[in-house]
């Protein structure tokens, strides 16, 4: 592999002059610049990113730590972050931890060793060791999706509690009273907030909630499918609020397997508005905001923090207001459905 000294030898100039041409640190004549460019092209020389970062004190690289790259929510979030960074000359290193605490800690160490300029962390679990490590990070950092206890960093998230409240109120306004909730894992902050929003809307409407109507599962379609089976094989509700769209897909599958018509016999609403929710059948009514825009907002906040060091400004929170995205999986409760049509 060619080196800067090889370029200098071919161009017939000093390697320090080549460095000035590459880094634009000192004016050189047009003739010298053309010689250097010709030698670079001839040798297929690639400048060392490590060497350049040491001089510039910047790698123009952002680290992104997500729990699951196969979850469409995090895939869309990563795309938004990547788009926002790329427009500003930064590249993104994506690390997928598979919800494994050990992998999360390992990836965090690797990213910091690479001297990234900034870090975006999305939805880590309740791993105290990782939280302690994040609390000690001095690299500019933005947390996405939920606040992390003990980690004083910029935060971008949707209003989970208000979104669940809006989703449940939508079902109540359609006449439903026997509404079930399938939340995510009971120990996660996101799930707790969304279940709290469900309870608030039901209490406001003075609608009864039995313990059997509130279930928890992984934020996955198999989890939603298994939880929905419990609800649909007994005295089934007329509507289900799913803690995220992936759970909602599992509910739709469980209903189809039992020949339960959605929304004529069962209304289903999700949360997040991932792109796939437009293409399942029936298209899933959901609550959320553009995930890609959420990612772009996180990138914008992080790049602003990189430009404005931590000690110059307190941590900032951006809470994104959710909205209902009406599709075809919700309708009036069954005894009102034909009149509605």
**Predicted confidence (pLDDT) at residue 50 exceeds the cutoff of 90:** no
The domain total for the chain is 3
Structural domain of 29: 4-47
In a domain, 52, yes or no: no
Domain harbouring 225, CATH code? 3.40.50.2300
Six-digit token string for 267: 């209304």
Average pLDDT for 223-242: 96
Q: What is the mean pLDDT of residues 188-193?
A: 90
* 32-36, 190-194, 223-227: least confidently modelled range: 32-36
**194 and 102, same domain (yes or no):** no
Per-residue pLDDT reduced to its tens digit, 116-147: 899 999 866 666 777 888 888 888 999 998 88
- Provide the mean pLDDT of the chain: 88
Output the pLDDT for position 146. Answer: 82
Residues 102 and 127 in one domain: yes
User: Which pTM was predicted?
Assistant: 0.81
Answer yes or no: is 117 within a domain: yes
Dist CA 206 CA 195 (whole Å): 16
Calculate Rg over the CA atoms of the chain: 26
Q: Which residue has the tokens 């606040």?
A: 147
Same domain, residue pair 218 and 306:
no
On whether residue 55 sits in a domain, the answer given is: no
Q: What is the pLDDT of residue 124?
A: 62
Residue 130, sorted as left (phi over 0), alpha (psi -120 to 50) or beta, turns out to be alpha
> To 5 degrees, how large is the angle CA 87–CA 18–CA 55?
55
At 27, the pLDDT band (50, 70, 90 cuts) reads: confident
pLDDT at 311: 60
> Looking at the predicted structure, is the pLDDT value of residue 51 above 60?
no
pLDDT at 20: 76
Both 166 and 213 in a single domain? yes
Contact 330, 263 (CB under 8 A): yes
Mean pLDDT within 223-234: 96
Averaged pLDDT for residues 61-82: 91
Verify that 186 and 271 share a domain, yes or no.
yes
Lowest-confidence pick of 50-59, 224-233, 260-269: 50-59
Least confident stretch, 27-31, 45-49, 170-174, 202-206: 45-49
Same domain, 167 and 269: yes
């Amino acid at each position: 592999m060619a080196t800067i000294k090889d370029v200098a030898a071919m161009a017939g100039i000093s390697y320090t002059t080549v460095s000035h041409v590459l880094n634009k640190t000192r004016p050189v004549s047009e003739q010298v610049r053309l010689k250097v460019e010709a030698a670079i092209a001839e040798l297929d020389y690639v400048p060392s990113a490590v060497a350049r970062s040491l001089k510039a004190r910047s790698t123009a690289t952002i680290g992104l730590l997500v729990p699951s790259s196969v979850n469409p929510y995090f895939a869309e979030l990563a795309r938004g972050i990547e788009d926002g960074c790329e427009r500003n000359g930064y590249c993104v290193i994506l690390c997928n931890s598979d919800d494994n605490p050990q992998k999360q800690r390992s990836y965090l160490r690797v990213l910091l060793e690479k001297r990234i300029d900034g870090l975006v962390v999305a939805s880590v679990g309740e791993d105290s060791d990782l939280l302690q490590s994040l609390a000690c990070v001095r690299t500019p950092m933005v947390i996405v999706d939920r606040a992390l206890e003990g980690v004083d960093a910029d935060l971008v998230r949707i209003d989970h509690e208000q979104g669940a409240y809006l989703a449940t109120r939508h079902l109540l306004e359609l006449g439903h009273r026997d509404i079930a909730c399938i939340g995510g894992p009971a120990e996660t902050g996101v799930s707790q907030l969304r279940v709290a929003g469900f309870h608030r809307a039901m209490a406001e409407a003075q609608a009864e909630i039995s313990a059997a109507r509130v279930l928890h599962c992984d934020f996955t379609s198999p989890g939603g499918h298994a939880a929905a089976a419990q609800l649909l094989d007994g005295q089934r509700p007329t509507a289900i609020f799913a803690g995220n769209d992936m759970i909602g897909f599992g509910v739709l599958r469980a209903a189809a397997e039992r020949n339960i018509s959605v929304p004529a016999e069962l209304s289903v609403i999700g949360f997040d508005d991932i792109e796939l929710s437009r293409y399942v059948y029936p298209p899933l009514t959901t609550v959320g905001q553009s995930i890609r825009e959420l990612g772009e907002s996180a990138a914008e906040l992080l790049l602003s923090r990189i430009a404005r060091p931590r000690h110059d400004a307190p941590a900032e929170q951006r809470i994104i207001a959710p909205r209902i995205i009406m599709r075809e999986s919700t309708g009036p409760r069954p005894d009102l459905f034909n009149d509605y049509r």
